[in-house]
Structure 1
């Protein structure tokens, strides 16, 4: 049985009291086993632990927000950087992440089963350097959490990539060599390929490799929407809620069938700014139901 993980930070309301109620609603569903928590993001908010403690104990801590902020500031930053300085900064970032993870577990009990790391920098990462960084990170104490390589939109000779990280086959090979697993985000595979065919291909490819940890479902669009410009990692909802989204119920169901028994499936989507708590939960639940089809 796969756990179900929700990237609630993308759909949560801005007010703290409303956020608490939203997390209560997620916990009350009975089918949300964990959350995808952005680092640094929510990890620096003191109330997060109380929201997670005892009820979202199969969560994913993702490094992508902090990774991208650092890449924008320093194009050499990343675990796959061809420069020693860029890798050193990324390792220091990972040390800070690990320390936050340890503090969260110490104060609130076990919460995170997985830590998602990424093959930055953009368009410069090398498989050799990423492998070397991960090999070192595996010697650290991750407090019961497993490192997973989360695939993002990859480098391309055909268009300007948003993130431009390593190719999936490179990351899968590294995972096999180091005894790790990889996770996928449906929308990021769509953004990386500029279409809705590659996401399912990626699921099948990762599954066949034997190292697929999980799939998070968020959408993407070839046109601008209320969630941003075309072809961005904008966490679009299901097509039922945003017609421009390429992520249809059929796409989700077929991808889940290809994934089979994995550690986790999940949903992450943005919502209209004026959406009620029930509407926010409804948009997440519709993705969940497609996963059960």
Structure 2
């Protein structure tokens, strides 16, 4: 039986009829080079942009990658989506690690880490102005993920106290034989199967760029998004670009959160406005949208990156009025 709990909802933004979650860390110059003043200006500035209802922030072995005490004292009063994916990618060096692992020790280790995420979500809610509305899950290990193992993990995770946060599986590029993966996690159909088998109250997030990396065909992404929507589990569609060639953001098929093609002609991004519109249509009535794009490599000030976010939100509002 699916366990239903009362959950904080991400409030609607003013620009669009659906709330938008903006990923803060690919935009912030302070993510790689710690600068508390810049980080504060970016976080607060993003929350003030029309349509922004929540921020995605990383969990990397703790509440903040540089200064957790600073974050608790300075986080704006906003809903947060907490993603441990950067931490999971580091942990892939441990054989068998992941919530979809058939290796008992690896699966237990991944669940233990998520217990720490749950504890930190509670601390954020208790000791900061922000609150965690969403916690993202990722179906490691690379190339060996198993739907039955994932279902067991989801059932266990569904019993934890998440302080009102919604659990979602963020679909990343799946393992494809003969193809070098970025993540190489469980296929979408396996994630859907596991959610249904687990009985846990878990949704799905889709990311345009990560689906493009998996499929190697940008025109096929909308079909995969539609499959997620048709499952009835899709909570959010995140708009993030990808590229099939070398460029200023990355090499081909690297998960570098490329911008929209119409906003940076140098980026070699495959996420054109037509594909953006097709993706939003395919997502149907998914409750939320997301924006996850990187700042330009030469953008080093808060004002510059806030302008990047604002321009992307304007394009997104045209695709999802």
Same structural fold, with TM-score higher than 0.5 when normalized by the shorter chain? yes
Q: Does 1:237 align with 2:259?
A: yes
Q: 1:206 aligns with which of 205, 208, 228?
A: 228
C-alpha distance after superposition, 1:230-257 (max 9, x if no partner): 1111111111214401111222222112
Could you tell me which runs of 5 or more consecutive residues in structure 1 were left unpaired when the two chains were aligned.
Answer: none
Q: Does 1:221 align with 2:246?
A: no
Query: What is the Cα deviation at residue 109 of structure 1?
Result: 5.0
Q: 2:291 aligns with which of 263, 267, 291?
A: 267
Could you tell me which runs of 5 or more consecutive residues in structure 2 were left unpaired when the two chains were aligned.
Answer: 1-16
Query: 2:249–2:297: 8 Å Cα contact kept in structure 1?
Result: no
* TM-score where L is the length of structure 2: 0.85
1:50–1:199 Cα change, 3 Å: farther
Equivalents in 2 of 1:191, 1:51: separation in Å?
35
| Structure 1, 182-191 or 256-265: larger mean CA deviation | 256-265
Query: 1:224–1:230: 8 Å Cα contact kept in structure 2?
Result: yes
Query: 1:78–1:121: 8 Å Cα contact kept in structure 2?
Result: yes
Q: Specify the alignment match of 2:174 in structure 1.
A: 154
Alignment of 1:96-245 (within 5 A): 96-108=116-128, 111-177=131-197, 178=199, 179-239=201-261, 240-241=263-264, 242-245=266-269
1:259–1:35 Cα change, 3 Å: same
Equivalents in 2 of 1:47, 1:199: separation in Å?
39
Q: 1:24 aligns with which of 31, 37, 44?
A: 44
Q: Specify the alignment match of 1:7 in structure 2.
A: 23
Q: Does 1:91 align with 2:111?
A: yes
Equivalents in 1 of 2:62, 2:258: separation in Å?
21
Query: 1:223–1:244: 8 Å Cα contact kept in structure 2?
Result: yes
* TM-score where L is the length of structure 1: 0.93
The number of residues matched between the two structures is: 290
Q: Superposition RMSD on alpha carbons, in Å? A: 1.7
Query: 1:23–1:51: 8 Å Cα contact kept in structure 2?
Result: no
Residue 168 of structure 2 aligns to a residue whose secondary structure is: strand
Residue 10 of structure 1 aligns to a residue whose secondary structure is: coil
1:251–1:50 Cα change, 3 Å: farther
Residue 149 of structure 1 aligns to a residue whose secondary structure is: strand
1:269–1:156 Cα change, 3 Å: same
Q: 2:95 aligns with which of 59, 71, 75?
A: 75
Structure 1 runs of 4+ with >4 Å offset:
none
Equivalents in 2 of 1:252, 1:12: separation in Å?
24
Equivalents in 1 of 2:36, 2:52: separation in Å?
20
Residue 206 of structure 2 aligns to a residue whose secondary structure is: strand
Equivalents in 2 of 1:243, 1:109: separation in Å?
36
Query: 2:142–2:175: 8 Å Cα contact kept in structure 1?
Result: yes
1:111–1:263 Cα change, 3 Å: farther
Query: What is the Cα deviation at residue 30 of structure 1?
Result: 3.4
Equivalents in 2 of 1:47, 1:139: separation in Å?
31
Equivalents in 2 of 1:76, 1:288: separation in Å?
39
1:255–1:51 Cα change, 3 Å: farther
